[in-house]
Amino acid sequence: MDDPSYAEQLAELEEDELSWVLEGIPPEQRGQLLRHWPFWSRGNQKQPAGMWRVWLIMAGRGYGKTRAGAEWVRDFARKNGLCRIALVGATQAEARAIMVEGESGILEVCEAPERPRFEPSLDRLVWPNGTIATLYSGAEPDGLRGASHHLAWADEIAKWKAGVAAWDNLMLGLRLGDYPRAVATTTPRPVPLLKRLLAERNVAVSHGRTRDNRAHLAPAFIAAIEDNYGGTRLGRQELDGELIEDVEGSLWPRALIEACRVRAAPQMKRIVVAVDPPAGAGARSDACGIIVAGLGADDRGYVLADASVQGLRPEGWARKVSDTAESWNADRVIAEANQGGAMVRSVLQAAGHVLPLRLIHASRGKAARAEPVAALYEAGRVSHAGRFPALEDEMAGMTIGGDYAGPGRSPDRADALVYALTELMLGGSKKPGVRRL
């Protein structure tokens, strides 16, 4: 979460402390606090320090991106007369409905003495000091050709139909004054314009999540959206403000993973815990991949839990494996023999682990081992009983060619997943009976 606002910090005070603080504020100034943006704004809604050309606010829905953009424009217009500002929305209609007339738009955040006059027929706002803001559409790049501005606010740039062309025309016209700048507010999507901005050096980036603004959102709304979308690709994009891209040649495209998700698993015939131990120990070592998977009564595979840990010594992650196997009533632990298999056996025994341990011998590379398991997903024979973002990021980063493009140096969780599902569905031993979760 970003730094809390002054208002949120005050809300944490005890009632007598809060009364003491408010008593020190003159009555006429207390009402002004309701509209005083520096008082309400959180850390990532504040203009970043340093010299930058573009400030990119990439955050989830309801975070307060529009308010931050409108307040930034308001502050500039209030302090600078006779200036030119560009307001660019995904469409002309959205620029008016959201950026100008919206509940967090410019007209709403400006107080009466400084509020600009909106001239819809000319698509512009005119401030009392002579500053003019003109509305444009990100779907019509030629509308930005030739216009010059001191400042620009570009909203929902990931939705712009002519994204790169419109942005280039906007930047070519951002040339007035000593320090022309732009703020871009958007919920992320993996589009060329957004990826280009994230790679540029003169772009300051602020991130934020929907839940960061929970003080101003209905608790029932937060609970509902996190229950329905938390941890999914859509939720991570629309709520957490993450830019989630598909890796070219991925064995597990994001859409495939989402299509395999279920809320709950049926009764289990078997449950195994697979472990991919780290080569070293300490905070900088790779994670110890620990995945729980089962074979359902419907003969389908189910990923049940990701219990992976990082930064533990062998006795620490071994105890985690043992505890996980016990809590899930697993019938077997799976580990790779030629990747510390003997160490796995010894540390599990030292930890008091009594379940059977199956050591597998990997004679092929990671991608070759993973391809048959990915085929099970393609055939609709595996489901994820829940949401496992860290595991799914690694899966999406594994490619057919063998290159790994996911987080971290190694797909430890994904490797453990492959071991587990290979054991359950691709020739491993099977035990009869049904287990209840």
User: How is residue 109 written in tokens?
Assistant: 């955040």
254-425 CATH, one of 1.10.3720.10, 3.90.550.10, 3.30.420.280, 3.40.630.30? 3.30.420.280
CB within 8 Å of 167: residues ≥ 6 apart: 138, 154, 157, 160, 193
List pLDDT tens digits, range 156-179: 999 999 999 999 999 999 999 999
Residue 58 is encoded by which pair of tokens? 């990439």
Lookup: tokens for 405: 């493009």
Gyration radius from the chain CA atoms: 27
The pLDDT, as a whole number, for residue 231 is 84
What's the rounded mean pLDDT across residues 69-87? 95
- Provide the percentage of residues in the chain whose pLDDT is more than 90: 63
Match 């890796």 to its residue by tokens: 247
Q: Following CA atoms 205, 224, 386, 384 in sequence, which dihedral angle do they give, to the nearest 10 degrees?
A: -80
336 pLDDT band (50/70/90 cuts)?
A: confident
Looking at the chain, which residues constitute the CATH 3.40.50.300 domain(s)? 41-216
CATH 3.40.50.300 given to domain 41-216: yes
> Average pLDDT of the chain?
87
Q: Which residues pair with 216 in a beta bridge?
A: none
- What are the residue ranges of CATH 3.30.420.280 in the chain? 254-425
Residue 435: per-residue pLDDT:
44
Residue 8 has pLDDT above 90, yes or no: no
Q: Residue 88 pLDDT > 50, yes or no? A: yes
